[in-house]
């Protein structure tokens, strides 16, 4: 393992110990949808219901990480109008539950592509979920929002069997579906599998 990978592994291990990864799970927010500015081009839209929306604004459009429930769609779009007038080009589903994918069909109707893991789409199709993702990854995919690289990873089962981890290399941010991703891996597959997952994440992200 390289020095860079070792540093990354240590950082991820610390996150696993404190469950402190940046997350898209949400909840415990204000009753109404609220926008929180994280950085100049990164925002979060959240409320007290589970799930939230991470907003990335690029040079040629907007990427959303999750789109909450279908009932939240109109409110999310109103908040996006206050951030930018650029269109939503992509939605990444961190996993398949409705508090993260419920707005897919409405976003697709506006012309957005929805990205998820192969496993997530398969399970969503089996359960006849609306708004099936149309861009898929097996284990890794890089996309660009303008000049911003966005790396997507599937490391195996976590909270569900289709979880995606998002890495923003230029921003030095890692986004998971929620703070229980690593805890769920430990419960389902055991602590050895969790340690292996952390090292794998660190090595892949540090490349």
Residues 11-41 have pLDDT tens digits of 344 344 433 344 455 555 667 888 999 989 9
Q: What is the pLDDT of residue 142?
A: 97
Rg, the chain, Cα only: 16
Q: What CATH number belongs to 22-138? A: 3.60.15.10
Taking residues 83-104, what's their average pLDDT? 87
- Among 114-128, 143-157, 166-180, the range scoring the smallest mean pLDDT is 166-180
Looking at the chain, the whole-number percentage of residues with pLDDT higher than 70 is 65
Phi-psi region of 111 (alpha: psi -120 to 50; beta: other; left: phi over 0): left
* Predicted TM-score of the model (pTM): 0.74
Which pairs from 182-186 meet CB under 8 Å and 24+ separation?
A: 182/15, 182/16, 182/19, 182/21, 182/158, 183/19, 184/158, 184/159, 185/156, 185/157, 185/158
Residue 105: pLDDT band (50, 70, 90) is very high
């Amino acid at each position: 393992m390289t020095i860079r990978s070792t540093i990354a592994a240590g950082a991820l291990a610390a996150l696993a110990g404190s469950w402190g990864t940046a997350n898209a799970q949400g909840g415990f927010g204000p009753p109404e949808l609220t926008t929180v500015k994280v950085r100049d081009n990164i925002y979060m839209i959240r409320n007290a219901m589970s799930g939230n929306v991470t907003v990335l604004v690029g040079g040629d459009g907007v990427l959303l990480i999750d789109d909450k429930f279908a009932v939240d769609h109109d409110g999310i779009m109103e908040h996006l109008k206050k951030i930018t007038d650029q269109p939503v080009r992509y939605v990444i589903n961190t996993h398949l539950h409705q508090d993260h994918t419920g707005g897919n069909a409405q976003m697709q109707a506006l012309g957005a592509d929805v990205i998820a893991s192969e496993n997530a789409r398969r399970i969503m199709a089996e359960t006849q979920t609306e708004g099936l993702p149309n861009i898929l990854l097996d284990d890794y995919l890089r996309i660009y929002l303008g000049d911003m690289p966005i790396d997507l990873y599937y490391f195996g089962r976590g909270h569900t069997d289709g979880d995606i981890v998002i890495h923003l290399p230029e921003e030095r941010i890692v986004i998971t579906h929620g703070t229980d991703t690593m805890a769920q891996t430990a419960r389902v597959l055991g602590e050895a599998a969790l340690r292996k997952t952390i090292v794998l994440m660190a090595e892949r992200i540090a490349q």
